[in-house]
Amino acid sequence: MSFDQNIVFNGTDLSPYILVTDVTRQVVPRRRITQTQVPGMDGALVSSVELDPVEVTVKACILRRLMADVSDARRTLAAALSSREPAPLFLPDESGTYLMALYEGGAEPSSLINVPDLELVFLAADPVAYGEHRAQEVSGTTVIDAGGTYQARPVVTVRPPSGSYWQVTNVDTGEFVRVDASFNGSQTLVLDFAARRCTVNGSDHRVDISSDYFALDGVQSVMVSGGTASFEWDERWL
């Protein structure tokens, strides 16, 4: 069985410095299940399911033999791994998907000579991997295939036609986002479904109180009340 040994973190290819020998991660992130007790009912109802962060352990060896060369490689690795914000982590044999992760630190080589071993531990607070960036235009009612194996939240950009509101609806679930405003056909409306943010010409704008920033999940029909909206999102993969 072949094993792709390349690993890239925060845009830096680490493979010139380390040889990956093993990667350990959960098959599926652990799920936090919240239950609600209902009077008069046996058992409970599941009210929400959330995913816990995951740790990824990369076992590797430093591709240097001399003490001075090992020290130089360690400094280079330390600089490459020192991101203070989650950054893309491309793991071996992950078919182009990546996790947004932070290096936890603390690894130390097993020795300073003879290709020392080490373990690098990364934390992905967001445990669902990202994949291909997708874009699709929607006018009227349009079928969207979100791709991936997990729900994705899009950014929607549109120039609403003249009217007192604009709305986008997930036809399959009935969820929608409605924006009440005096549209004249020239404003740019942006809805960020992940950040739950609405802007009109770059300024924050509230949405209707009954709105719900829905997710794209599999193949679904989406309807817009007017104009042509641009949907952009990243595939999500468990």
User: What is the mean pLDDT of each successive set of 10 residues along the chain, which is 238 residues long?
Assistant: 71 90 87 82 78 91 75 86 93 86 81 74 94 95 95 96 96 96 95 96 95 95 96 95
> Phi and psi (nearest 5°) for 204?
-60, 140
Predicted pLDDT at 200: 96
Distance CA(6)–CA(19), nearest Å, equals 8
Element containing residue 199 per DSSP (H, E):
strand 197-200
- pTM metric for this prediction: 0.82
Does residue 158 sit in helix, strand or coil? strand
Distance CA(228)–CA(187), nearest Å, equals 13
163-186: b (≥16 Cβ within 10 Å) or e: eeebbbbbeeeeebbebebebeee
